Amino acid sequence: MTSTKLYTAIYVVLFAMATAQVLIEFAGLAYWVGVAAILALSSLKAVMVAGYYQHLRFEPPAISAVVLVGLLAALVLTFAAAYSIL
């Protein structure tokens, strides 16, 4: 598969997943199930964009690690802060 074809295929998948996210809201799922599904889709899309469009898959893993450390810091802040007032 040439790179252009691959990029196009990814684009189509991303498009479809975005649509699916909105449909989930109206699918009548339980709230937290819906939230989990929607965020899982977002994460999947993010991984695809980062892996192929930003070609992280083909870079040294250290670059992904740098970004993931930032993500981890943000998650620690978000969850610890929210949990502290529960």
Residues that bind another protein (CB under 8 A): 3-4, 7-8, 11, 14-15, 18-19, 21-22, 24-25, 31, 34-35, 38-39, 41-42, 45-46, 49-50, 53-55, 58-63, 66-67, 69-71, 73-78, 80-86
Q: Pull the structure tokens for residue 20.
A: 């699916």
Output the smallest distance, CB 1 to another protein, in A.
14
| Angstrom distances, CA of residue 36 to CA of 2, 40, 49, 56 | 34, 6, 20, 25
Instruction: Identify residue 64 by its one-letter amino acid code.
Output: S
- Report DSSP letters for 31-51, one per residue: HHHHHHHHHHHHHHHHHHIII
* Residues 16, 41 contacting (CB under 8 angstroms): no
Output the smallest distance, CB 30 to another protein, in A.
10
If the CB atoms of residues 1 and 82 are measured against another protein, the closer one turns out to be 82
If the CB atoms of residues 1 and 85 are measured against another protein, the closer one turns out to be 85
Output the smallest distance, CB 78 to another protein, in A.
4
